[in-house]
Structure 1
Amino acid sequence: MNYSELTRVMRRLALEAGDKIMDIYNSDDFEVKVKSDASPVTEADEAADALISAGLRAAFPDVALVTEEQADSHDVDARTFLIVDPLDGTKEFINRRGDFTVNIALVEDGVPTRGVVYAPAKQRMFYTDGTGMSLEELGPFSHDAVGETKPIRVSEPNNDALMVVASKSHRDQATDEYIGKYAVRDMTSAGSSLKFCLVATGEADLYPRVGRTMEWDTAAGHAVLAGAGGRVVRFDDHSALAYGKPGFANPFFIAYAPGVVLKEA
């Protein structure tokens, strides 16, 4: 795999998909359908998925592709694969809250090694470069030329005063009870994979997720966080969160800056 070429392609496809998403987001109305798992899907999800899938298959025809919106791709059994959530945070999109992202990642031997997370409504873009280090690109963005970038790095947390980020749409009592085990300086809420990116930039120290997620929800953010020095572990035993699991469902997990002293579940 040519990682520099992968970064270029993922970045461009994320921007192009973001343009399609924002055209629909800014329209007067859009259709919302319900999938078999009762989750919502919009024409923006479908348009972004078609664009990204076609682009990845053209650029990397020999690499398996898993994408949320194509059920037949969920039968993929490969150690190396590309994985896509074309619009993570559909509820945020529907409610016009802006906290939604385009997510594209590469998984190798169970580990997300490269990824891009683009939040088109917030004009924030995070990705791993050819070496696997994570950057934030500062807008305005051009499809053809990379603009100003800055390296990102996790915080050096003070365990007596942690900054915690939690889900905006999926916050529950179990999450609050776990957060209550820590000395928390402040909390913020964010939707979609932006939570991983806030830990990656040092804007937060800890992101616990006590709720259902799928690998396409987390892989790109996980890659960005890892490239910034962060970690993602299972909630139950603090082992590394692995990818390529049958069905692609995740266990509960914790994303954090390594200086955080994790509490038991």
Structure 2
Amino acid sequence: MTYDELIPVIRRLALEAGDKIMEIYNADDFEVKVKSDASPVTEADEAADALISAGLTEAFPDILLVTEEQAASHTRTGDTFLIVDPLDGTKEFINRRGDFTVNIALVENGTPTRGVVYAPAKGRMFYTLADGRSVEESGPFDKSGAGQASPISVSEPDNSALMVVASKSHRDQATDDYIGKYQVKDSKSAGSSLKFCLVATGEADLYPRLGRTMEWDTAAGHAVLAGAGGKVIRFDDHTPLTYGKEGYANPFFIAYAPGVDLKEA
């Protein structure tokens, strides 16, 4: 598999999954179940997962596939793997707030190197090109080939007036206390992996996450942010956030534009 082969496939599958998700989102009602970890799952999560998994397996049968909705994949490990969150922001989806995304990423040697984040309700799609640079494509979206895509880049932060983005559904006092260490011009809330993309486009400078996440929640957004010049590090020791960890669970982390003067935990 080459990057030139990968990018059109993950872009198309994200769009197809987004169509399926929006069919269910716009219906009068949809089924919501509770998983073993007490998190919600909808028929949209399951339908998008089935579509993406089938497409990736057909296109790249020899590459390990890890997806949120297939628990059996969570114990498999490898240096190179595709990782999928078919609907990140399920709570946003259930509450019809629009801040949910389709996420597909390639991880190589512990680092997300390529990925796509598609927010179908917002009509925004971010992905890495084959050369690793990140772009945002504006609709209408053509599944047969890329449309008009513009390069994106992180901001040059003003540390006396930072733009901060934090979780909409999982914000807590510890997060607010950490944000309080900075001189903040404005703070906004966003759901799902969109927070990485807001840093990638320069709409925010800093995204701290002091809460539980899994690698499928973050890999695609991490790849997009890295391709726009951003960084993602562990909250505790400021070393790079790595992937392929046992159980695919993340520590707390900080995503940021490199000009931010980072504060200690």
Give the Å deviation of 1:146: 1.1
Aligned-pair identity (%): 81
Match of 1:116 in 2: 116
The CA distance in 1 between the partners of 2:140 and 2:201, in whole Å, is 19
Match of 1:132 in 2: 132
TM-score of the superposed pair, with normalisation by structure 2? 1.00
Within-5 A mapping of 1:1-265 = 1-265=1-265
The CA distance in 1 between the partners of 2:133 and 2:63, in whole Å, is 22
Give the Å deviation of 1:138: 1.0
3-state SS of paired residue (1:176): helix
Which stretches in structure 1 are left out of the alignment for 5+ residues? Answer: none
The CA distance in 2 between the partners of 1:60 and 1:137, in whole Å, is 24
CA-based RMSD: 0.4
3-state SS of paired residue (2:216): helix
Give the Å deviation of 1:145: 2.1
The CA distance in 1 between the partners of 2:116 and 2:232, in whole Å, is 17
The CA distance in 2 between the partners of 1:144 and 1:93, in whole Å, is 27
Q: Which runs of 4+ in 1 moved over 6 A?
A: none
User: For residue 159 of structure 2, what is the amino acid of its counterpart?
Assistant: N
3-state SS of paired residue (1:99): coil
Task: Write the deviation string for residues 85-109 of structure 1: whole angstroms up to 9, x where unpaired.
Answer: 0000000000000000000000000
Which stretches in structure 2 are left out of the alignment for 5+ residues? Answer: none
Contact 2:92/2:98 (8 A) holds in 1: yes
Contact 2:8/2:145 (8 A) holds in 1: no
TM-score of the superposed pair, with normalisation by structure 1? 1.00
Count of aligned pairs between the two proteins: 265
